[in-house]
Structure 1
Amino acid sequence: MSESKAVIFGCSGPQLSRDEAAFFADTRPWGFILFGRNIVSMSQVAELTARLRESVGRPDAPVLIDQEGGRVQRFKPPLVPQYPSGADLGALYLANPESGLRATWIMSRLHAFDLFPLGISVDCLPVLDVPSPGGHEVIGNRAYGITPDIVSALGQAACDGLKAGGMLPVIKHIPGHGRAGADTHFELPHVDASHAELSAHDFLPFKALAGEAMAMSAHVVFTALDAADPATTSARVVEQVIRSEIGFDGLLMSDDVSMNALSGDFATRTRAILAAGCDVTLHCNGNRAEMEAVASATPVLSDEALRRANNVMTAFGPPDDSDEAALREEFEGLMAVS
């Protein structure tokens, strides 16, 4: 564990090539992330996660995925059901809060039934962003609602369902992506809301769930906090807002370093992310040249980052004894009346 580098990498396809395995053995990423390009069948994914862990010699190396439901769902039918969006769960909550909370917990528990047996240990949900008028649809119906209280309540239920299934969540995109007027995959958004507005609205779900083990940063410039740099590369935002005001002391990973919201070459981006106080850099697309550049600028986990990474590893618990078939039937019944 102490020799892992402060990075999470993707791989290029459904099988780990000998060359990729050698690269990961040499660079020793702390964890891995899977995407649709890596998924053909359940047995193939189980084999891939085993080979990824074997490459770094750590049978417990975290393997992440974005399996939210709605339009962000890497495993798709017929391998798993098409799950509802966060907004669908929020609509149920508005009609019946108890049903909405229960359905949100069950959906995360079902994600764990789908993913945990394949060696996937972390699901990058919940989305705790609170959309505001003018916000880009990149969040849109991924959000549970348009008020911080609904987002907080359902976000907590989602986290609890995953943990009941032996997995860990990642709260995202801290300190809040809901006001961003652009898609950070393509450009860098600037949010001009005052610090007071952000504190009273956007930050609240992250404060409510600040005790979770992992969070993903937002590639968003908050001009009232730091007019020059997005949160991901802003020491001011990381230290004064994420760590101090919000109170998050878990493992902070960047959003994908290859997104066009960030500028500079990949080594420059990586150094800026880590210098700002993120613990781990996330690189998703499996591009070898980009990964080599990221790795060249990535140190071994140490000090506070190592402490937080170790805390993640001790936060995993065993799955509960839930009945999968019963939960699927209950979930279908709850969503049928929404």
Structure 2
Amino acid sequence: MSAARAAIFGCTGPVLEADERAFLREADPWGFILFARNLETPEQIRALTSELRATVGRNAPILIDQEGGRVARLLPPHWTGWEDALPFVARFSPEAGAEAMRLRYHVIGTELRALGIDVNCAPMADIAQPDTHPVVRTRCYGTDAGTVAQMARAVTEGLALGGVLPILKHIPGHGRTDLDSHADLPVVHADAVTLNAEDFAPFRDLADLPMAMTAHVVYPAHDAENCATWSPKMISLIRETIGFDGLLMSDDISMHALTGTMDVRVSKALDAGCDIILHCNGERDEMAAIAAVAPRLEGDALRRAEAALAARTEVQPIDVPATLARIEDLKEAAHAR
């Protein structure tokens, strides 16, 4: 049996159409990613995740962006609502903040696994700066490397308790950007010493995580021509300086930070050293173009993909109301000081 294709694909709606099912079976992506357009009720989502795995005939990873707050694909009343991470963390002391984040993501992970979703696009190890774009800033965990690393580690621990794998993002750092890479190509003008001491530091502390997602960001101190996703220099830095040896996926290859046809975008990311291509919008023509050029996983990319899936854990039971009450107690204790 050949290895899966080096791609992660979305789908168009809450139910797979017959032609979509046939396409995904033939394309055989390594995994899938879900968005609000795919999500209605717990029963419907469980059916969809089962059907997606059935199309490829294996226990393929199914991803989602469920940070809580601004980026949350699953909302009340079926699922727990959360505020953005930056104001949430600010309500606690550092120690209590880490506990609160661990509890928060234990709840999130538990809710995801109950739906058949076993990978979350978190933690974010980007550091909030005064001029960080609003799309990124309030999702960050702090304004200094130490706090961000501590909170991000707690996020990964909470997800593991919920039986969900983490994806570290946006490596090597999206915090020092005043543009939204969904719409534009950000450029970070900090010098190499500053980047290494600050922006890259949380990613070094989390380099043992199984998966990471690149930043569509240009760092002229290292490569003035290419964003990290397309830069052999930056991918080498991620591997050697930061020390990350997990599965490295591109951020969404369809984002407007990137230009050119889909096959060119994919080839540049793979040639730079990305292991796998993430494509989110479910557009069939774009996915077909990716499937035509993205290879089957092999070599180091296959090794990393297998290691990531081997890190999947079982759900540790949690009393959600009691956990939410514990978080409120931590808030009150911090406020009383």
TM range (shorter): over 0.9
Equivalent residue number for residue 75 of structure 1:
74
Q: Structure 1 residue 81: deviation in Å? A: 2.1
CA distance in 2, matches of 1:266, 1:174: 22
Helix, strand or coil at the partner of 1:274: helix
Which residue matches 1:34?
34
Q: Does the aligned pair in 1 maintain the 2:110–2:163 contact within 8 Å?
A: no
Quote the residue 1:131 is aligned against: 128
1:88, CA displacement in angstroms? Answer: 2.4
Q: 1:226 aligns with which of 217, 223, 244?
A: 223
CA deviation after TM superposition for structure 1 residue 270, in Å: 0.5
Counterparts of residues 144-163 of structure 1 (less than 5 Å):
144-163=141-160
Q: Which amino acid aligns with 2:308?
A: V
Instruction: Report the Cα distance in structure 2 between the residues aligned to 1:168 and 1:221, rounded to whole angstroms.
Output: 28
- Tell whether the 8 Å contact from 2:34 to 2:64 is kept in structure 1 after alignment: yes
Q: CA 1:155 to 1:2, structure 2 compared with 1: closer, same or farther past 3 Å?
A: farther
- Structure 1 partner of 2:89: 90
Stretch of structure 1 that moved more, 2-11 or 45-54 = 2-11
Report the Cα distance in structure 1 between the residues aligned to 2:89 and 2:192, rounded to whole angstroms: 27
**For residues 1-338 of structure 1, what are the structure 2 equivalents within 5 Å?**
2-58=2-58, 60-93=59-92, 96-239=93-236, 241-335=237-331
Count residues with an aligned counterpart.
Answer: 334
Q: What's the TM-score once normalised by structure 2's chain length?
A: 0.96
Please report how far the alpha carbon of residue 16 of structure 1 lies from its aligned counterpart in structure 2 after TM superposition: 1.0
Superimposed CA distance per residue, residues 77-111 of structure 1 (whole angstroms, 9 cap, x where no aligned partner): 11212112111232024xx2222111100000000
- Contact 1:170–1:214 (Cα < 8 Å) also in 2: yes
CA contact 1:92–1:99 (8 Å) conserved in 2: no
Residue 333 of structure 1: CA displacement?
3.1
Q: Following TM superposition, by how much is the alpha carbon of 1:2 offset from its aligned partner in structure 2, in angstroms?
A: 4.3
Q: Secondary structure at the match of 1:33?
A: strand
Structure 1: gaps spanning 5 or more residues: none
Query: Which sections of structure 2, spanning at least 5 residues, go unmatched?
Result: none
Partner Cα distance (2:306, 2:108) in 1: 24
Q: Spell out, residue by residue over 1:300-332, the C-alpha distance to the aligned partner (whole angstroms, 9 max, x if none).
A: 000000000000111011122333332232123
Contact 2:107 2:318 in 1 (8 A): no
Q: Which whole-Å deviations, capped at 9, do the CAs of 1:101-157 have from their partners, x for residues lacking one? A: 111000000001211011000011111101223322221100011101110000000
How big is each residue's C-alpha offset from its partner over 1:164-186, in whole Å with a ceiling of 9 and x where there is no partner? 11111111000000111211011
Tell me if structure 2 keeps the 8 A contact 1:170–1:213.
Answer: yes
Distance of 2:167 and 2:263 partners within structure 1:
25
SS of the residue corresponding to residue 90 of structure 1 reads: helix
Taking only aligned residues, the RMSD between alpha carbons, in angstroms, comes to 1.3
Identity of aligned residues (%): 46
- CA 1:237–1:301 in 2, change beyond 3 Å: closer, same or farther? same
